[in-house]
Chain A
Amino acid sequence: MTSKETMPFGVTAASRQKQKPPLRGWQAAAIASAAVLTLAASGVAVRAADPIKIGILLSLTGNFAENGQQTLTGLKMYFDKVGNKAGGRDLQLIVEDTQSKPDTAVTKARKLVQSDGVAMITGIVSSGEALAVNAYSRDSKTPLVLSGDAGVDELTVPGPLQNPYMVRTSQNGRSVASAAAEWAYKNGWRKVVTIGSDYAGGIDVHYSFAQAFCKAGGRVIQAEWPPVGTADFGPYLTNLDRKADAVVTFEPGADGLRLARQYSDFGLKGKMPVMDIYGGLVFEANLPQLGDATLGMYSSLLYTPMIKTPENEAFVAEFQKRMHTLPANEGPNGYVGAHAIVDAIDALHGDVSDKMKFLAALRAVKFDSPKGPISLDKYGQVIQTMYIRKVEMVNGQPQNVPIASYPNVDQFWPFTEADLESFKYTYKDSKDSLTDCAHILAKK
């Protein structure tokens, strides 16, 4: 081993000699013997001197750039907090931009693993990228800690996408939708209209909502599916079934901002309450732009910057210093991902060479975070608190004030894993059956 390891020194010295005056004999001898002595020490000591390389894969340009930037800020905030050290070793972060494209994400993942030699990959904003990088992680046996928005449910349940090298510390689609359904029923709503962004994520979220709402005893009486990028929600709003108790939405990005404004413009604010799953309408960056249009809107999410805990208040203050805006869920998700990684490395005293041991350590983490208490289930999916929020004026600014919370929500709640497996249909068969509780709750 020693002779092998000293090879690079020999090569470097030889190549330097071409440009610089040759080393004197005693200098070369001293360098060579120092190198040999260092490398002759135990293998562990050598490895401890190297940093652990962590690949961060995020959308820093393109459609999801803002999500990527906020996640990155959250990750860096925690790594900075521990001085970029864990388990006695330095942490070296290598950040790559996926440009919000799944194919670029895989190319960059391959670059991180094969040429940078990272020990793990974290980040990932879009579900498309998550599916692509998840497959690469499984094939290349690279630990993957999903700490970005990517919430596609199938990644963390037994099935074709399951990957023993992956854990997810951020979120999943079902839990946020289920919390909305539980609270909606408890609040007395029985008939709702859904306005859901017409793509796999939107259908998945609304189907999860309908499952939990039907189970509780409510019903979706009308399901509207505006396409992604709908400029004008006028036709959908004027078509609403007015017998409904409330409107339930999932509209991320610019669609959410537009729907929030137009809902108020068309005079529906105050007439029909809104439950906004994932808070796309009442997104923190939207609130100051919308004046009082969002006042009174309900939303469900795994976070709100208004959580009154010391962890969260410190987090929000630091995040605002770095990003000049209030965090939505991305910042805390990144922060929690970094915390889980650091705790797992600490538990192994810095030796992450055994990947299965490292993944077991990741699944065993348990800590308090800005989001609330965090732990992971046996599939590596995070168990965390769900918040119901309501937009109220706080110090003259509209804010998402928490009005209810559901602690320790796992990815199957309010069902069990067995319940979900016993259902005959999945969201893929059900876009046109959202109003049919018999279809939704049918057993195999």
Chain B
Amino acid sequence: MTWLIHILNGLAFGMLLFLLAAGLSLIYGLMRILNLTHGSFYLVGGYIGLTVMQFTGSFVLALIAAVVVVALIGAVIERFFLRRFHLDELPQTLVTFGFLFIFSDLSLWIWGGNPLMLNVPHIFQGSVPMGYYSYPYYRLFLIAVGFVVAGGLWWFQERTRLGTMLRAGVDDAEIARALGINVSLLFTLVFAAGAALAAFAGVLAGPVLSLYPGADFEVLIFAFVVVVVGGLGSLRGALAGALLVGIIDDFGKAFFPQFALFTVFVPMAVILVMRPTGLFGRQ
């Protein structure tokens, strides 16, 4: 029974990592921007969700508000700041690094320094009994959401017109432009969508991980580990990497607690040695 709990735990944590890493990977895949503001999108999204939930009591409204507001913030940052440094990686990374600090201080100012926890939505309160322990419904819900989002993103990439344009843009932006695809608009949309995914993850993680100053930097590290393992720019990679890291982290902490500090980094180190581009990364 405890084995089952460990596996479920690994999956639930892995799915949170996937939601977090998917946006980062998507943005890098198309735009070659290493977006450090991603951590802020997660935290600010979570905080916005928390505030909306406090006022309305609705988890769904909290998710919608966080996703919409953070997508808009993302679009503004892409349009008015990142665009000036098109394909110039170092300045772009520095701009996103700057925004990370700005959002960090802004959210400390608005939401204070105490760790805050979102309430679990009513229908998912309670736990399933499992032997001596029990397992929270909300985490089972997280696992389900992770699979649904992964499926949705795959469908979008492979089966929709916009997804086809996106893949064309990833493969060769110049040719895509020559074929009449509005790559500039595509960039803004993808950046906004990546930001929205991070905000979505922030709200969903809120009842489990809580929100606090510094969480933006912590989740950024997790997201990087996942994309390094899975391969930057690959959605499949993000999913595989996230689940692998989630499960290894859980079992590592349970069975080799003396290495708890770097169980997350073990898969990364091994992958970097064996396959530097990540599991599904391209050269």
Contacts and interface: CB of A to CB of B under 8 A. Distances in A.
Contacts of A253: 115, 212
A92 to B, nearest CB: 27
A62 B212 CA distance: 11
A229 B210 CA distance: 11
Interface in B38-65: none
A235 B253 contact: yes
Contacts of B215: 254
B117 A290 contact: yes
Interface stretch (B27-35, B125-133, B152-160): B125-133
Interface string B192-231: 0000000000000001111011110010000000000000
Contacts of A187: none
Interface in B66-119: 105, 108, 112-117, 119
B236 to A, nearest CB: 24
A242 B132 contact: yes
B182 interface: no
A229 B219 CA distance: 11
A91 B195 CA distance: 50
Interface stretch (B164-172, B183-191, B254-262, B272-280): B254-262
A285 B113 CA distance: 11
B9 interface: yes
A66 B250 contact: no
Contacts, number: 111
A397 to B, nearest CB: 16
Contact of A265 (B6, B105, B127, B214): B127
A65 B108 CA distance: 8
Nearest to A229: B218
Given A254-B215, A285-B114, A232 B260 contact: no
Contacts of A283: 114
Residue among A63, A234, A236, A289 facing the most chain B CB atoms (10 A cut-off): A234
A391 to B, nearest CB: 16
Contacts of A258: 117, 208-210
A267 B212 contact: no
A112 interface: no
Given A238-B5, A257-B115, A261-B117, A65 B133 contact: no
Interface string A199-225: 000000000000000000000000011
A271 B129 CA distance: 13
A108 B215 CA distance: 27
A237 interface: yes
B260 A238 contact: no
B253 A266 contact: no
Contact of A224 (B116, B207, B257, B261): B257
A283 B113 CA distance: 13
Interface string B229-263: 00000000000000000000111011001001100
B223 to A, nearest CB: 13
B115 A254 contact: yes
A61 interface: yes
A227 B261 contact: yes
A262 B9 CA distance: 12
Contacts of A67: 113
A121 to B, nearest CB: 22
Contacts of B127: 265-267
Contacts of B260: 198, 225-227, 230
A61 B108 contact: yes
A239 B108 CA distance: 35
Contacts of B136: 265-266
Contact of B113 (A64, A262, A266, A268): A64
A69 interface: yes
B2 A238 contact: yes
Contacts of B257: 224-225, 236, 239
A161 interface: no
Nearest to B254: A235
Interface string A285-312: 1100111000000000000000000000
Contacts of B130: 267
A238 B254 contact: yes
Contacts of B254: 235-236, 238-239
The 7 A-B residue pairs with the shortest CB-CB distance, nearest first, are A267-B134, A66-B113, A65-B113, A254-B115, A235-B254, A235-B253, A265-B136
5 contacts: A231-B218, A232-B9, A232-B13, A232-B250, A236-B257
Interface of B: 2, 5-6, 9, 13, 105, 108, 112-117, 119, 127, 129-130, 132-136, 138-139, 207-210, 212-215, 218, 249-251, 253-254, 257, 260-261
Given A265-B127, A266-B134, A267-B132, 20 more contacts: A61-B108, A66-B112, A67-B113, A198-B260, A225-B257, A226-B253, A232-B9, A235-B6, A238-B6, A238-B254, A254-B210, A254-B215, A258-B208, A261-B117, A261-B207, A261-B210, A262-B208, A266-B127, A286-B114, A289-B117
